[in-house]
Chain A
């Protein structure tokens, strides 16, 4: 993927920093988060790649599929040597979609039997994380 640096690099990075409360600029790409993430093998971009792209102001990272897979298990945060809470960064990227009413869940596709079987905690959590 060709990376083009624009004059707005800082703008996008700052937007994510303000929303997440995390300073992604201190990441030195050790890759511990990607190694720890239980969803890495399913992701289009690894967590450490997401952080690097934000550092470089690459706005299209908000359209990646990996941000919807992060379940805030915090394995990455527990091990990040720089103490970056990557789950908060992932949440910021999700929020940029959710606040424009872009959802990643369609309850009408889930059967009534399933809805009766699934614990409420799972339903509420998935709606909080995936529904805009």
Chain B
């Protein structure tokens, strides 16, 4: 099957260049299989990581807004070609960029302060979207036709966490029962495992100053996944991935009966089902080794 060509601006964010390298390589390679060319936004800066919540905090909108303005300044032709879409992967980048982008369109007073500070006249017009939304628009049947090695035997809990879904005004799907990843993973040939924990917080940034708390929350999610029969989890957030995957080291030390369970970025599962090479899978950045499961399933 031939896929229609699509060219889009992408905002990688810091995690995809460091702790989540596997997310970026698998995203770029699997996007390419679907005819999507992702152009990295030149000179991007930190997204700000968390959306400023105080009414008088204008300063922390500067980082996300600067990225959005840069996207439309750097290549206006591509802006038009991509229908003004800026693609994000990391859930945190998606959340902060999208929320600040909407705020600056709706709040004229803050827009004036920010654009004056940045010495810009124009307002950002980029629409921030998540790669999962692009996949939904392409259609799961189209994605299914690119699958060469269906993920037979995979029982996956699609773990969304918070920032992809909430607040609901910007979320990519129903905040209580999202189905985007379910539909994608079904198209890849995997069996879906459900859990009420799929939209619960993983412990987030508490992993820095209160690791035991992050371990406790992540352990609950992992335990419930296992109880419901999952042999893997899929995620789109590098911070969730860190807590759910890397903290398994500490969880195993604290709970010797705990079994390690591999955590994948959904793009790694796409690359696997598209039968791409090891380099495109990017499993080097995973903590819980996925290879024993792949061997067991003959993939």
A complexed with B: yes
How long is the Cα–Cα vector from A85 to B239 in the complex, in angstroms?
Answer: 23
Q: Given A38-B201, A120-B14, A121-B238, is A73 in contact with B208 using a C-beta cutoff of 8 Å?
A: no
* A124 beta carbon closer than 8 Å to chain B: yes
* B204 beta carbon closer than 8 Å to chain A: yes
User: Is the pair B175, A78 in contact by a Cβ cutoff of 8 Å?
Assistant: yes
Interface of A is mostly: helix
How long is the Cα–Cα vector from A119 to B242 in the complex, in angstroms?
Answer: 7
How long is the Cα–Cα vector from A72 to B19 in the complex, in angstroms?
Answer: 23
* B186 beta carbon closer than 8 Å to chain A: no
Q: Which residues of B contact A18 (CB under 8 A)?
A: 55
B14-55 at interface with A (beta carbon < 8 Å) = 14-15, 18-20, 46, 49-51, 53-55
Residue A72 contacts which of B50, B90, B176 (CB distance < 8 angstroms)?
A: B50
Identify the stretch in B3-11, B68-76, B160-168, B224-232 within 8 Å (CB) of chain A at 4 or more residues: B160-168
> What is the interface size of chain B, counting residues whose CB is below 8 A from a CB of the partner?
40
How long is the Cα–Cα vector from A91 to B51 in the complex, in angstroms?
Answer: 11
Q: Quick one: closest B residue to A120, CB to CB?
A: B14
How many residue pairs bridge A and B at CB < 8 Å?
A: 115
**Least distance between A113 CB and chain B CB atoms (Å):** 12
B-side residues, CB < 8 A to A, are: 13-15, 18-20, 46, 49-51, 53-56, 60, 90, 92, 162, 165-168, 175-176, 199-201, 203-209, 213, 217, 238-239, 242, 246
Q: A75-B199, A77-B166 are in contact. List 19 more A-B contacts (CB 8 A).
A: A20-B53, A20-B54, A42-B213, A71-B206, A72-B50, A75-B166, A78-B175, A105-B209, A118-B208, A119-B239, A119-B242, A120-B14, A121-B13, A122-B242, A124-B49, A125-B204, A128-B60, A129-B50, A130-B209
